[in-house]
Structure 1
Amino acid sequence: MKKIKVIEMGGTISGNGKDRLDLKDYKSGVYNGENFLEAIPEIKQFADVSFESFLLVSSTTLNADHWIKLRKKVMNCLLEEGFDGVVITHGTNTLEESAYFLHLTIPTEKPIVFVGAQRPFTSLSSDAHLNLLQAIRVAASDEAYNNGVLVQLNDEISGAREVTKTNTYRLEAFQSGQFGYLGFIDPDKKVQFYRNPTRKHTFNSEFSSLEIDKLPNVEIVYSYAGATGHVIDHITERKKYRGIITAGTGAGLVSPSEIEALQRATENGLFVVRSSRVGNGRVVPIDSYKDYNFINGDNLLPQKARILLMVSLLKYNTIEDIQTVFDHY
């Protein structure tokens, strides 16, 4: 039986409501491994599981320093303590971001599975119990090896690069856009994968071997009709940032005023990555932008493009090198 470490980071999956109909005002981080094992004794059928509470904070308060601490904890569990896999319980609001950071920076082939819930542990029809059990099953499965960091909710297995939260309260909130899920957990107790990530990650990521103590500051700017570019100028003038991600309209476009502001940003040494706010599709080079020193963000969502730029800047300092990273990760 495989040894699985569950790292508890709070979130709805550990939430306690004032009654069983409380689906919005509950308190997160109340329940822990002892409560989970008592409520879900079936866990013991699938793995030898150890629980540890770690960074019990709301996922909306997490920042890059928390990611670095989590990375060190996961590496210790897998590389030093000899666990066969790790499950991380996490608030759903920023779960996809923590998952993608580890996807880029953990040097392992072993399964790392993020899990959360859309309904608190105490609610009617809570998804917390089964989500946790299924995540442990995925982490203990041979099929999950070499697939990078995974996200499991609602019996659906997603890759950390593509997955995103798409609904505020519905159980099917976590989707992977046009690429779809990597696999599923079905009633026959099988963990079934149908595809694998093709972009570089974990054990074949050049960033997984880096010593990471701090990440550079990168901001996201959301474009819209009539955007003035004032926010971009403010970021540039603050001189505390290394890069800007544009959540552009359509195919990664921004307003004329934003173009001017972004040019001033690049002239001041900031790296600018074009992404799109639409949710699907690649941002590619276009003739009208060929004279600007912008990096094309491929199909990464703005919040994922931000993480990749932050990590890239730990190693590279030219547009050409960083563009190559975005082409392969």
Structure 2
Amino acid sequence: MKKIKVIEMGGTISGYGKSRLDLKDYISGIYCGEDFLKAMPEIDEIADVSFESFLRVSSTKINSDHWIQLRQKVMSCLFQEDFDGIIITHGTNTLEESAYFLHLTVPTEKPIIFVGAQRPFTALSSDAHLNLLNAIRVAASDEAQNKGVLVLLNDEISSAREVTKTNTYRVEAFQSGQFGYLGFIDPDNKVQFYRQPTRKHTVNSEFSSLDFTELPDVEIVFSYAGATGHLIDHITESKKYSGIITAGTGAGLISPSEIEALKRATDNGLFIVRSSRVGNGRVVPIDSYKDYNFISGDNLLPQKARILLMLSLLKYNSLRDIQTVFDDY
């Protein structure tokens, strides 16, 4: 029987509501491993599962310091305590970002699964119980080896690179865009994969061997009709940031005023990555931007591009090198 560690970080999956119909004003982080084991004795039939409370911080409060602490915790569980797989219970608002950070920075082929819930533990038709049970099934599955960090909600298995939250309350909130899910868990309780990630991750990621205690600061700027570029100038003038991700319109396009502001930013040493606000499709180099030192963000969502740029800046200070990273990851 596989030995699985559940690292509890709070979130809706551990939430307590004042009634079974409280789906919005509940308090997160109330329930823990003992409560899950009591509510779901089926856990013991799947794997030898240990629970540990860690950080228990709201997902809206997560920052890069928490990511670094979580990375160290996961590596300790895998390499010192020799667990066969890791599950991280996490609030859904920034779950995809924490998952992508570990996808790039933990050197293991063992399964790491992020799981959350859209309805609290106490709710009528809560998804908390089955989501956790299915996450344990995935973590204990041989088929989940060497697929990077995975995200499991609503019986659907996604890669940390592509998955994103697409709905405020619906249980089918987590989607993987045009690429689709990696696999599913159906009523026969079998973990079934249909594809696997092809971009570099975990043991094949150059960032998984890095030793670091902090990350460079990178901001995201959302483009829109008539965008002035004032926020970009403020970021540049603050001298607190190493880079900017633009969530551009359409194919990663930005307004004329933003272009001028971004030119001033690059002149001041900031790295600029173009991404798109639309959610699907690649952002590629285009002739009208060839005279500007912009990095093309491929198909990464802005919040994922930010993480990749932060890690890239730990190793590189060259536009060409960072562009190669975005092409490979």
TM-score range, shorter chain: over 0.9
TM-score by length of 2: 1.00
Distance across 2 between alignment mates of 1:214 and 1:57: 19
User: Which residue of the partner structure matches residue 186 of structure 2?
Assistant: 186
1:102-153 alpha-carbon deviations (Å, 9 max, x no partner): 0000000000000000000000000000000000100000000000000000
Distance across 2 between alignment mates of 1:295 and 1:213: 26
The residue type equivalent to 1:200 in the other structure is K
- Summarize the alignment of residues 186-225 of structure 1 with structure 2, pairs less than 5 Å apart: 186-225=186-225
Q: Secondary structure at the match of 1:76?
A: helix
User: Which residue of the partner structure matches residue 68 of structure 2?
Assistant: 68
Distance across 2 between alignment mates of 1:47 and 1:67: 27
- Summarize the alignment of residues 279-318 of structure 1 with structure 2, pairs less than 5 Å apart: 279-318=279-318
Distance across 2 between alignment mates of 1:164 and 1:76: 27
Distance across 1 between alignment mates of 2:79 and 2:202: 13
User: Which residue of the partner structure matches residue 99 of structure 1?
Assistant: 99
Distance across 2 between alignment mates of 1:57 and 1:103: 20
Stretches of structure 1 lacking an aligned partner (at least 5 in a row): none
Distance across 2 between alignment mates of 1:33 and 1:212: 31
The residue type equivalent to 2:252 in the other structure is G
User: Which residue of the partner structure matches residue 325 of structure 1?
Assistant: 325
User: Which residue of the partner structure matches residue 172 of structure 1?
Assistant: 172
Distance across 1 between alignment mates of 2:160 and 2:80: 24
Shift of 1:73: 0.1
Distance across 1 between alignment mates of 2:57 and 2:101: 18
1:71-109 alpha-carbon deviations (Å, 9 max, x no partner): 000000001100000000000000000000000000000
User: Which residue of the partner structure matches residue 123 of structure 1?
Assistant: 123
User: Which residue of the partner structure matches residue 79 of structure 2?
Assistant: 79
1:264-289 alpha-carbon deviations (Å, 9 max, x no partner): 00000000000000000000010000
Q: Secondary structure at the match of 2:125?
A: coil
Shift of 1:212: 1.6
User: Which residue of the partner structure matches residue 28 of structure 2?
Assistant: 28
The residue type equivalent to 2:202 in the other structure is T
Distance across 1 between alignment mates of 2:63 and 2:164: 18
- Summarize the alignment of residues 226-305 of structure 1 with structure 2, pairs less than 5 Å apart: 226-305=226-305
Shift of 1:160: 0.2
Shift of 1:260: 0.1
The residue type equivalent to 2:97 in the other structure is E
Stretches of structure 2 lacking an aligned partner (at least 5 in a row): none
Distance across 1 between alignment mates of 2:239 and 2:272: 14
Distance across 1 between alignment mates of 2:304 and 2:39: 35
Residue 60 (structure 2) pairs with residue 50 (structure 1):
no
User: Which residue of the partner structure matches residue 15 of structure 1?
Assistant: 15
Q: Secondary structure at the match of 1:207?
A: helix
Distance across 2 between alignment mates of 1:319 and 1:194: 36
Shift of 1:69: 0.1
Give the aligned length. 329
Distance across 2 between alignment mates of 1:204 and 1:137: 25
Shift of 1:56: 0.7
Shift of 1:186: 1.1
Distance across 1 between alignment mates of 2:7 and 2:130: 17
Distance across 2 between alignment mates of 1:44 and 1:204: 33
What is the CA RMSD across the aligned residues, in angstroms? 0.3
Q: Secondary structure at the match of 2:4?
A: strand
The residue type equivalent to 1:138 in the other structure is V
Q: Secondary structure at the match of 1:208?
A: helix
Distance across 2 between alignment mates of 1:175 and 1:43: 26
Q: Percent same amino acid among aligned pairs?
A: 84
Distance across 1 between alignment mates of 2:274 and 2:235: 16
User: Which residue of the partner structure matches residue 59 of structure 2?
Assistant: 59
4+ aligned runs moved over 4 Å, structure 1: none
User: Which residue of the partner structure matches residue 140 of structure 1?
Assistant: 140
TM-score by length of 1: 1.00
The residue type equivalent to 1:183 in the other structure is G
User: Which residue of the partner structure matches residue 90 of structure 1?
Assistant: 90
The residue type equivalent to 2:167 in the other structure is N
